[in-house]
């Protein structure tokens, strides 16, 4: 087991990539905290994982609220005694062309996708520092690396996540804490399901593998970066895109 006796927090863990990651980490021996704003979905997912033998709890969190993030870290530590891994997976979209992008749409995405990563990382930092080890993985996006029409706010947050990742890798590396990012391409989740069929066909055609990614493809990337197999990987951005931007 690659994560035996590790404790992992997965934000946005109630569904999609997050729940798949929680399932995989649990199978690899981790104790898992599903941290999500959706209480019903989070409790349901945690219960399903417990039924399969995974040591799992649900923690309600609003990542945009620093106090809520601090409570999350405290609750997980009270339950499991430590925090080894943080997957900053929570994210939202509020897409619009620049001319029509409202200040509310801008701020909502900034608050969750960028400030949320900051709040959660800052919240777990004292616990990881006390351990002298840890792995923090931030979810960026291919959009954060290469941009995308109609996603000014989303692209800005995901590019910002890369900047924070590289900065924290330098700051926290001496404390034994590795910080990396994963930049998914187009993955078969509810977020992508809202894209019109014709546009999706065009997107898939651009991918050399000619298919969407699966949530487990991203979960596997998270697993590698969380494990001892990546013990000397720090400050990297791992693109999981099927070759979309070759």
- Which residues are catalytic, by number? 154
Q: Between the CA of residue 152 and those of 8, 97, 119, what are the distances in Å?
A: 31, 8, 22
By DSSP bridging, strand 85-88 and strand 31-36 are: unpaired
Q: What is the phi-psi region of residue 177: left when phi exceeds 0, alpha when psi lies from -120 to 50, beta otherwise? A: beta
Q: Are 65 and 90 in contact (CB under 8 A)?
A: no
As a residue count, the chain comes to 246
Q: State the Cα–Cα distance between residues 48 and 84, nearest whole angstrom.
A: 23
End-to-end CA, the chain? 34
- For 97-105, which contacts have Cβ atoms below 8 Å and span 24 or more sequence positions? 97/149, 97/150, 98/152, 101/152, 101/153, 105/153
- Spell out the residues 6+ positions from residue 107 whose beta carbon is closer than 8 angstroms to its own: none
Q: Are 59 and 43 in contact (CB under 8 A)?
A: no
Radius of gyration of the chain measured on its C-alpha atoms: 17
């Amino acid at each position: 087991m690659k994560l035996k006796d590790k404790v992992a927090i997965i934000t946005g863990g109630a569904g999609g990539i997050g729940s798949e990651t929680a399932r995989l980490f649990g199978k690899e021996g981790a104790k898992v905290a599903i941290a999500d704003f959706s209480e019903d979905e989070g409790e349901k997912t945690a219960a399903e994982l417990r039924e399969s033998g995974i040591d799992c709890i649900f923690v309600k969190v609003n990542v945009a609220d620093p106090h809520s993030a601090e409570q999350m870290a405290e609750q997980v530590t009270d339950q499991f005694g430590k925090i080894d891994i943080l997957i900053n997976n929570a994210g939202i979209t509020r897409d619009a062309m620049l001319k029509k992008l409202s200040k509310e749409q801008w701020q909502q995405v900034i608050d969750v996708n960028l400030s949320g990563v900051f709040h959660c990382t800052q919240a777990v930092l004292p616990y990881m520092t006390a351990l002298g080890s840890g792995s923090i993985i931030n979810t960026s996006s291919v959009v954060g690396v290469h941009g995308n029409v109609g996603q000014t706010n989303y692209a800005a947050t995901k590019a910002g996540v890369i900047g924070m990742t590289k900065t924290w890798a330098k700051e926290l590396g001496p404390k034994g804490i590795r910080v990396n990012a994963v930049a998914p391409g187009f993955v078969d989740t509810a977020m992508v399901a809202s894209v019109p069929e014709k546009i999706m066909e065009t997107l898939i055609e651009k991918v050399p593998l000619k298919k969407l990614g699966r949530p487990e493809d991203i979960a596997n990337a998270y697993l590698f970066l969380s494990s001892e197999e990546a013990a000397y990987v720090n400050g990297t951005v791992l693109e999981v895109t099927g070759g979309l931007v070759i």
